[in-house]
C-alpha cells in the first residue's frame, strides 16, 4: 500500500514555520503563518484563558462523552456572539461545536454534498489556500469568483456579483465574514446588502468563514455583514473559529452555525448535521470549547476578554499605520491601502521571486503569494521590514 506512493506536497503555510526556525539570521522576521503576536513577538496564552483553564481543572466533574453537537452552552454563546444577545436570529439558528474553523468548513461541505451531491462551492479569488482542497475533499465542485485585485488593492465587486449569478439552489458561496485572508478587504455594508439581494434572487446558500471576528473594527462591527445577510436570507451557514480571537489555535475550537427560514426547519437541519459528525470524528474535543464557554458566559471574564481582543485589534491596526508611514514616499507603489484594510493579512502584490528575495536577502519571511501577517510586525522590526519592501519593490 505504501511503497509506490509519490512524494507528498506539504502545506506551504505550515512549512514556513520550519523555514523560519532554520533561518540563523538575528534580524529574521516571521510574517508568514497567521498567528497573532504581541509587541514582543510572542503568541502567549490569553490571561482569561488561563483563568478559565484553572477554573476547569478545579471544577470539571467528568470527562464522559457529551454529544456530536458538543457543548450546548458554547453553541448558544457562539450564536449570541455572532448575532447579538437579543437578536431575533437566535430563534431560527442552531450551532454545533467543531474541531476548529476547519472542522466547521468540512462539516458544512460534507453536509452540502449530502443534500446535493456534487454541488458547487464558489470561492473568492484569492482565498485561504485550504479552502479549495478541503471543500473539494468533501465532494463539492470548486468554482472561483473574482474578489480582490492584488495589483490595485481593490475589491472587484461588479465582477464578483456578475460571477455569482451562476450559483443556484443547493450551491454554496463562501465569503470571509470580516478581515479577508489574504486580501484584507471586505465588502461595505451597502455591498453586503447587494450580495444579499443577489443571493435572495439565485437561491444559493452563503457559507461565511468567520475566523477573525473582533480583529477588524470590533466584535459587533465585524459581525455586521453576517448579521445583515442572516436578516435578509432564508438560509446560511457560518464557520466560526476561535483560534485567533481566543489564541486557542492548537486546541481546535470552532463552530458551525446554520440559519434557516424558521425554528422548525433549523432544528431539522441541525439534526442532519449530526450524522455528518458521527461518521467522521464522532464528537468534538471538549477543552477549548469549555474554556470559551466559561469566558463568554461569565460577565467579568467576558469583559476582560473583550479588552484582550481590543488590544490585539488595536495593535494590528496601529502596525498597519506604522508600516504605511515607514513606506510613505519611498516606493513607486502607494501602500496607503494597507492602512485602510483590516485584519491580520495584506498582499504586497509582489512576485514569488521577490517574496523569495525578501526571505533570502532580508530575512523577512512572507508567503510566496506576497502575503504578510501584519500581526508579526512590532516597533522593533517594522523599520527593517519597510526597508526590505523598499529594497525589493523599489
222 makes contact with ligand PLP (CB under 6 A): no
Minimum distance from CB of 337 to ligand TYF (Å)? 20
CA–CA distance, 336 with 223 (Å, rounded to integer):
25
**Residue reference for cell 506551504:** 12
**Annotation says 261 is catalytic:** no
Number of residues that bind ligand PLP (CB under 6 A): 13
100 makes contact with ligand PLP (CB under 6 A): yes
CA–CA distance, 374 with 293 (Å, rounded to integer):
29
Return the residue of 29, 31, 34, 326 that touches ligand TYF, per CB under 6 A. Answer: 34
Minimum distance from CB of 267 to ligand PLP (Å)? 26
11 makes contact with ligand TYF (CB under 6 A): yes
Catalytic site residue from 110, 171, 186, 209 = 209
Minimum distance from CB of 111 to ligand PLP (Å)? 17
**Annotation says 28 is catalytic:** no
CA–CA distance, 393 with 354 (Å, rounded to integer):
8
Minimum distance from CB of 36 to ligand PLP (Å)? 11
For ligand TYF, which is the closer residue by CB, 12 or 234? Answer: 12
Does the N-terminal peptide bond of residue 174 adopt cis geometry, omega within 30 degrees of 0?
Answer: no
Stretch near ligand PLP under the rule CB under 6 A, chosen from 99-107, 265-273, 356-364, 379-387:
99-107
CA–CA distance, 113 with 120 (Å, rounded to integer):
9
183 makes contact with ligand PLP (CB under 6 A): no
Among ligand TYF, ligand PLP, none, the one that 75 touches (CB under a kind-dependent 5 to 8 A) is none
For ligand TYF, which is the closer residue by CB, 33 or 96? Answer: 33
Return the residue of 181, 240, 290, 317 that touches ligand TYF, per CB under 6 A. Answer: 181
Stretch near ligand TYF under the rule CB under 6 A, chosen from 8-16, 49-57, 118-126, 354-362:
8-16
13 makes contact with ligand TYF (CB under 6 A): yes
284 makes contact with ligand PLP (CB under 6 A): no
197 makes contact with ligand TYF (CB under 6 A): no
**Annotation says 244 is catalytic:** yes
102 makes contact with ligand PLP (CB under 6 A): yes
373 makes contact with ligand PLP (CB under 6 A): no
130 makes contact with ligand TYF (CB under 6 A): yes
Instruction: Considering only residues 22 through 41, tell me which ones interact with ligand PLP, judged by CB under 6 A.
Output: 34
- 3-state SS, one letter per residue, for the chain: CCCCCCCCCCCHHHHHHHHHHHCCCCCCEECCCCCCCCCCCCCCCCHHHHHHHHHHHHHCCCCCCCCCCCCHHHHHHHHHHHHCCCCHHHCCEEEEEECHHHHHHHHHHHHHHHHCCCCEEEEEECCCCHHHHHHHHCCCEEEEEECEECCCCEECHHHHHHHHCCCCCCCEEEEECCCCCCCCCCCCHHHHHHHHHHHHHHCCEEEEEECCCCCCCCHHHHCHHHHHHHHHCCCEEEEEECCCCCCCHHHCCEEEEEECCCHHHHHHHHHHHHHHHHCCCCCCCCHHHHHHHHHHCCHHHHHHHHHHHHHHHHHHHHHHHHHHHHHCCCCCCCCCHHHHCCCCEEECCCCHHHHHHHHHHHCEECCCCCEEEHHHCCCCCHHHHHHHHHHHHC
Return the residue of 20, 74, 111, 128 that touches ligand TYF, per CB under 6 A. Answer: 128
Minimum distance from CB of 248 to ligand PLP (Å)? 8
For ligand PLP, which is the closer residue by CB, 178 or 377? Answer: 178
241 makes contact with ligand PLP (CB under 6 A): yes
Longest dimension (CA), the chain: 62
Catalytic site residue from 244, 305, 322, 359 = 244
Residues that bind ligand TYF (CB under 6 A): 11, 13-14, 33-34, 128, 130, 181
**Residues carrying an active site annotation:** 128, 209, 244
Amino acid at each position: 500500500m505504501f511503497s509506490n506512493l509519490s512524494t507528498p506536497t506539504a502545506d506551504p503555510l505550515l512549512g514556513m514555520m520550519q523555514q523560519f526556525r532554520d533561518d540563523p539570521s538575528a534580524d529574521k522576521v516571521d510574517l508568514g503563518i497567521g498567528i497573532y503576536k504581541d509587541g514582543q513577538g510572542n503568541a502567549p496564552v490569553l490571561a482569561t484563558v488561563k483563568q478559565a483553564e484553572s477554573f476547569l481543572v478545579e471544577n470539571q466533574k467528568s470527562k464522559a462523552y457529551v454529544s456530536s453537537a458538543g457543548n450546548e452552552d458554547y453553541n448558544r454563546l457562539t450564536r449570541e456572539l455572532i448575532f447579538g444577545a437579543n437578536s431575533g436570529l437566535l430563534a431560527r439558528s442552531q450551532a454545533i461545536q467543531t474541531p476548529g474553523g476547519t472542522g466547521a468548513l468540512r462539516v458544512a461541505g460534507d453536509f452540502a454534498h449530502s443534500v446535493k451531491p456534487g454541488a458547487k462551492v464558489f470561492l473568492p479569488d484569492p482565498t485561504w489556500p485550504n479552502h479549495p482542497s478541503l471543500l473539494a475533499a468533501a465532494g463539492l465542485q470548486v468554482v472561483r469568483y473574482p474578489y480582490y485585485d492584488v495589483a490595485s488593492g481593490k475589491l472587484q465587486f461588479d465582477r464578483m456579483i456578475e460571477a455569482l449569478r451562476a450559483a443556484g439552489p443547493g450551491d454554496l458561496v463562501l465569503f470571509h465574514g470580516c478581515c479577508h485572508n489574504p486580501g484584507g478587504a471586505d465588502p461595505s455594508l451597502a455591498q453586503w446588502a447587494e450580495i444579499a439581494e443577489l443571493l435572495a434572487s439565485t437561491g444559493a446558500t452563503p457559507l461565511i468563514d468567520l475566523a477573525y471576528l473582533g480583529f477588524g473594527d470590533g466584535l459587533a462591527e465585524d459581525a455586521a455583514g453576517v448579521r445583515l445577510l442572516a436578516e435578509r436570507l432564508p438560509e446560511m451557514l457560518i464557520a466560526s473559529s476561535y483560534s485567533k480571537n481566543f489564541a486557542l489555535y492548537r486546541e481546535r475550537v470552532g463552530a458551525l452555525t446554520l440559519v434557516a427560514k424558521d425554528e422548525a426547519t433549523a432544528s431539522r437541519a441541525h439534526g442532519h448535521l449530526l450524522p455528518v459528525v458521527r461518521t467522521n470524528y464522532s464528537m468534538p474535543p471538549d477543552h477549548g470549547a469549555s474554556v470559551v464557554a466559561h469566558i463568554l458566559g461569565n460577565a467579568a471574564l467576558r469583559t476582560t476578554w473583550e479588552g484582550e481582543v481590543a488590544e490585539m485589534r488595536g495593535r494590528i491596526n496601529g502596525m498597519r499605520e506604522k508600516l504605511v508611514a515607514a513606506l510613505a514616499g519611498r516606493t513607486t507603489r502607494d501602500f496607503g491601502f494597507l492602512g485602510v484594510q483590516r485584519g491580520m493579512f495584506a498582499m504586497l502584490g509582489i512576485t514569488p521571486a521577490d517574496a523569495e528575495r525578501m526571505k533570502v536577502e532580508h530575512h523577512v519571511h512572507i508567503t510566496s503569494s506576497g502575503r504578510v501577517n501584519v500581526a508579526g510586525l512590532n516597533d522593533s522590526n517594522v523599520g527593517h521590514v519597510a526597508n526590505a519592501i523598499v529594497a525589493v519593490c523599489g
